[in-house]
A = this chain, B = another copy of it.
Amino acid sequence: MDLRFTEDELAFRDEVRSFFRQALPASIRDNIVAGRHTSKEELVTWTRILHDKGWAVPHWPVEHGGTGWSPVKQYIYLEEMSQAPAPAPLAFGVNMVGPVIYTFGNEAQKSRFLPRIATLEDWWCQGFSEPGSGSDLASLKTRAVRDGDHYVVNGQKTWTTLAQHADWIFCLVRTDPDARKQAGISFLLIDMKTPGITVRPIQTIDGGKEVNEVFFDDVRVPVENLVGEENKGWNYAKFLLGNERVNIARVGVSKERIRRIKELAALQRVGGERMIDQPEFREKVAAVEVRLKALEMTQLRVLAGEAKREKGTQDPASSILKIKGSEIQQATTELLMDVVGPYAMPYQSEEAIDGRNEPDIGPDWASTIAPAYFNTRKVSIYGGSNEIQKNIIAKAILGL
């Protein structure tokens, strides 16, 4: 057992770090530091920079543009990216539908879709959740009925993040209404420009409009856009959700945020002294740091175990990553709220700030903090709520 990085891994980290330092546009970085959203244009720009370097989809098989890095190197890469901080590549493409396509798709689908995912020429979104389904995903109702060379899709998806930018959506649809819940589901790729698709934004409590409802009204989808076998979609979805759970710990994001907390607490004065100098506050931050370090080590242990697991199966221990990762993300936004104090109150949308000449209300770093606090409540809900994760651990690991 040796938990230190090897010389080779350390050299790799330096290489990645210095590439990011040199290649990441300052404006993109600054936006992230300030807690603001990355725009579509910024993400495309950044993805192309990574692609030119050959690093857009490092975890993919080499034949599809992957790098062949070890899991540890992939981890280092992602860590460095979150701490640059650089925007994460669009997960719906590179982490979700991409791996489904190269694992279960046919050759035509691979050559048609994978290159355009890697370069973000196609912006993908996810059509899994429905208003009635929630944690009970398999209860979905959107129907796809075979009609010649097409499926005709009717129904509604929700919580579709960034659908407003999307060229494509990957959907779970019910193709056999008579089969047992999980058995009649298929995995369809749908062009967002197809007639009959309507996108309606849902305003979230942070003021954002990044999630949407997507309505399907007699949408005709060519059968060639079916991934794998009809009625086997649930398997592909489970595979996809499993991949999602590993990345969801967001250790790098939380680390970056703790640095930010310390930086801001050094600017903030409470009762005449700097907040960062108050032992109570320092200890509160340290307590979160401890939990985060433990999570990082747990993440590494799960990663190390991955290598030995059967391909495509999921370590149920990765549910720990989801639970603790989301709790820690939430704890960091609570600390930010502690730091900012009363100037969390003004509501200033990004658009409003961009459009005006006057200075911000309060410190210029304050306006994104309450929205981040509100928004981060979602991380214990999405991707399989923390209650579902606990059910998984209870059943799969504890045998209860």
Interface residues of A (CB under 8 A from B): 278-280, 283
Contact = CB atoms under 8 A, between A and B. Distances in A.
Of the candidates A278, A279, A280, A283, the one having the most CB atoms from chain B within 10 angstroms of its own CB is A280
A278 B279 CA distance: 9
Nearest to A283: B280
A283 B279 CA distance: 12
A155 to B, nearest CB: 31
Q: Quickly give the copy total for this chain.
A: 2
A44 to B, nearest CB: 48
A90 B283 CA distance: 44
A339 B278 CA distance: 21
Nearest to A284: B280
Contacts of A278: 279
Nearest to A282: B280
Contacts of A279: 278-280
A95 to B, nearest CB: 38
Contacts of A280: 279-280, 283
Contacts of A283: 280
Nearest to A281: B280
5 contacts: A278-B279, A279-B279, A279-B280, A280-B280, A280-B283
Nearest to A280: B280
A283 to B, nearest CB: 6
A278 B280 CA distance: 10
A64 to B, nearest CB: 50
Nearest to A278: B279
A279 B280 CA distance: 7
A119 B283 CA distance: 53
A77 B3 CA distance: 62
A185 to B, nearest CB: 31
A342 to B, nearest CB: 20
A266 to B, nearest CB: 19
Nearest to A279: B280
A279 B281 CA distance: 11
A280 B285 CA distance: 13
A280 to B, nearest CB: 5
A274 to B, nearest CB: 15
A288 to B, nearest CB: 16
A279 B284 CA distance: 13
A169 B382 CA distance: 55
A278 B283 CA distance: 13
A183 to B, nearest CB: 32
A210 to B, nearest CB: 34
A284 to B, nearest CB: 9
> What are the 3 A-B residue pairs with the smallest beta carbon separation, nearest first?
A280-B280, A279-B280, A280-B283
A280 B278 CA distance: 10
A193 to B, nearest CB: 46
A271 to B, nearest CB: 11
